[in-house]
Amino acid sequence: MAVVEAFVGAATVEPGRGLYRVHTRRKLMILTAMAIALCVSFAVDLAWGPARYGLDQVLLALFDPGAVSDQVRTVVWDIRMPVAVMAIVVGAALSLAGAQMQTILANPLASPFTLGISAAASFGAGLAIVTSVPLLPVAASLIVPANAFIAALGATLFIYLISQARGVSVQTIVLLGIALVFTFNALLAFLQFLASEQALSAVVFWTMGSLSKATWPKIGVTLAVLLIALPLFARNAWALTAIRLGDDKAASFGVNVRRIRLETMLMVSLLTSVPVSFVGTIGFVGLVGPHIARMILGEDQRFFLPGSVLAGALLLSLTSIVSKSIIPGVVFPIGIITALVGVPFFFSLIITTMRKSW
Amino acid sequence: MVGLQLDEVGAAYGRKTIISGVCVPKIAAGEVVAVIGPNAAGKSTLFKRIAGLVKGPGTVQVTGSDKGRNAIGYMPQDSSANAVLSVYESLLLARKQKSSWSVADADLIYIDRVLGALNITDLSFRDLGALSGGQRQLVSMAQALVREPDILLMDEPTSALDLHRQVEVLDFVTTQARQRGMIVMIALHDLNQALRFADRVVLIDHGVMRAFGTPSEVITASMLRQIYRVEARIEKCSRNFDHVIVDATAA
């Protein structure tokens, strides 16, 4: 405090800290509300389907499985639960990946979808489905996700390496991403042209993105990546926020910008490639989730980080419900629904929110 | 008490050498040093080299400080940022690096005091992206100050400020230097400000230090002709301060 008192005119100054505490409490309340909304959405996702159950039955099936019929227990636990959990985990992972991509590339358009990473994964999966050529020596049943993973990882690292070159602007990275999207789409189209009818329909279904491929092992792997990434990002929360003030400024705060970027991009490449390799192309969550969090919570990573995770998880969980509601008995591929639901929602937020979102 | 000395300091971006062989004898606590020179002379690179943001030959010796890398606070020339953060959050960010998520009252009190001292309390909860150029400079200065540096490097801190704010800011940092025993190095284009506020002046041109001394030793008519290519006089005003009066560009 002795140094504080050294400031000229210090004794007469009071103000901001009370208001800062109020703002902080408000952000914590928003995060709590988002978490509650996610729990409700999860329960509705379990209740919703060809056989509709009340929330009381779902809660009973969750917390006292012996008290409900075998049919309810089987539908809730064995059929709907993996899909509902996968929606949350994949939404959280993609949104977190998008948030950190936007942070370290200083680019509001950065996301797995817009930078061509999803397109790369689609190409990898297409290569496996059409030609059975493995990019990794794995069991035959894992060739599709493994190829998608390697292709997505390669695309992410390629973007990272280019972004590190001196003189590369934000616009260059966006253009590079667009170029990657076109390149991998063209390569995929080439594979589709060569594919048999059966392989073609498998490729098309894969590229639409679907949670119906969810299994507990896939959930476990995706969740593990998420649980490794979150503490790392949390530890670097101040540094990541500082990077948004510019590299020079962050470095002047003592941030090792290069190391943080490398760590983050490696983690982002895993967060992106793992879920995409399991569920296919799910667009917009990685773009819209972080923007929603940014608009309502700002970019202090202590709030932006959990906010992005919750926004992405909530977005995909709600989308999962919608995908089952359009035509009773039919589950639409979730990749189609994320665009149909997410984008208008995003537009309405941009138009109704006065606060600058980037 | 803190001290700063530069021995044969250089810096390069890739293969391109920007500054070389800069030697500044020991600058003592409480001193304000103006760094002057034409555009692209290497002033910003010299600051980045001192702050440890670029590497190069030579030694930057900081003595009498126990703050390690935090001894030096750096205010970059370009302070534009489009992050969705309030001014208050950005100051907290500057102060809290490498510490826990929780925020102590002492940190907030300090931030309040710095904002008050720079007369920008009214900007506290304004978004960074909504600030004018001058306001951004003041906030950038506050970000450097909340880190409580022993050595403060300010790269053209007054270039976007009105006359009142320029004088206010330079008065403030010189007072801070005297009261806290802080070394302040300021890159300035306004040579009259250097004459008025600096204790010593470093002249940089084409990446090389051309002169070091008191303002009246360094800022001379011959230097202005040779380095800045202007015909000028240094004359005393009625209060006996030196002033640069430019007559014309030199042939």
End-to-end, the C-alpha distance of chain B in Å comes to: 47
* Per-residue tens of pLDDT for chain A, all 358 residues: 344 444 544 444 456 899 999 999 999 999 999 999 999 999 999 999 888 888 889 999 999 988 889 998 999 999 999 999 999 999 999 999 999 999 988 887 788 888 888 899 889 989 999 999 898 888 887 888 889 889 988 998 888 788 777 677 767 887 888 899 999 999 999 999 999 999 999 898 888 888 887 899 999 999 999 999 999 999 999 999 999 998 889 998 989 988 898 889 888 888 988 888 888 888 789 988 999 999 999 999 999 999 999 999 999 999 999 988 888 777 888 888 887 776 776 677 667 655 555 5
CB spacing of A166 vs B90 below 8 angstroms: no
Mean pLDDT value of segment B57-66: 94
Q: Are residues B210 and B249 in the same domain?
A: no
Residue A352, pLDDT score: 66
- Residue A6 maps to a domain: no
Of B19, B25, B4, B97, the residue nearest B55 (C-alpha): B19
Nearest-neighbour CA in chain B from A110: distance (Å): 15
Residue A230, pLDDT score: 96
Chain B residues with CB-CB distance to A234 below 8 A = 101
What does the alpha-carbon distance between residue A291 and residue B127 come to, in Å, rounded to a whole number? Answer: 16
What does the alpha-carbon distance between residue B60 and residue A198 come to, in Å, rounded to a whole number? Answer: 68
Q: Which of residues 233 through 262 in chain A touch B, CB cutoff 8 A?
A: 234, 237-239, 241-242, 244-246, 248-249, 251-255
Are the C-beta atoms of residues A261 and A267 closer than 8 Å to each other? no
Q: Are residues B117 and B138 in the same domain?
A: yes
Nearest-neighbour CA in chain A from B139: distance (Å): 12
Q: Are residues B246 and B151 in the same domain?
A: no
- Residue A69 maps to a domain: yes
Counting the structural domains of chain A, the total is 1
Mean pLDDT value of segment B37-51: 95
Chain B residues with CB-CB distance to A17 below 8 A = 105, 108-109, 111-112
- Residue A357 maps to a domain: no
Count of CB pairs separated by less than 8 Å, A with B: 148
Residue range B199-230, pLDDT digits in tens:
999 999 999 999 999 999 999 999 999 999 99
Residue of A7, A243, A305 for testing the chain B interface, max B β-carbons within 10 Å: A7
Q: Are residues B163 and B235 in the same domain?
A: no
Of B65, B138, B175, B93, the residue nearest A6 (C-alpha): B175
Dump strand ranges (E) for B130-181. 151-155
Q: Are residues B243 and B215 in the same domain?
A: no
Residue B170, pLDDT score: 93
Q: Are residues B147 and B37 in the same domain?
A: yes
Please, which residues have CB within 8 angstroms of residue A189's CB and are 6 or more apart in sequence?
A: none
The type of residue at B76 is P
Element (H, E) at A110: none
Q: Are residues B193 and B207 in the same domain?
A: yes
Q: What ipTM is given for this predicted complex?
A: 0.88
Q: Are residues B58 and B181 in the same domain?
A: yes
Kind of pairing between the strands at B200-205 and B32-36:
parallel
Mean pLDDT value of segment B194-199: 94
| Domain region containing A199 | 30-46+54-352
- Residue A263 maps to a domain: yes
CB spacing of B85 vs A356 below 8 angstroms: no
Q: Are residues B117 and B232 in the same domain?
A: no
What DSSP state is assigned to residue A160? H
| Domain region containing B234 | 222-251
Q: Are residues B132 and B230 in the same domain?
A: no
Chain B residues with CB-CB distance to A358 below 8 A = 82, 84
- Residue A106 maps to a domain: yes
Q: Are residues B235 and B207 in the same domain?
A: no
What does the alpha-carbon distance between residue A210 and residue B191 come to, in Å, rounded to a whole number? Answer: 67
Chain A residues with CB-CB distance to B93 below 8 A = 238, 241-242, 245, 253, 300
- Residue A1 maps to a domain: no
CATH code, domain carrying A300: 1.10.3470.10
Nearest-neighbour CA in chain B from A10: distance (Å): 5
- Residue A239 maps to a domain: yes
Please, which residues have CB within 8 angstroms of residue A130's CB and are 6 or more apart in sequence?
A: A191, A192, A194, A195, A196, A199, A203
What does the alpha-carbon distance between residue A276 and residue A288 come to, in Å, rounded to a whole number? Answer: 16
Average pLDDT, chain B: 92
Q: Are residues B137 and B180 in the same domain?
A: yes
What DSSP state is assigned to residue A342? I
- Residue A18 maps to a domain: no
Counting the structural domains of chain B, the total is 2
Mean pLDDT value of segment B69-98: 88
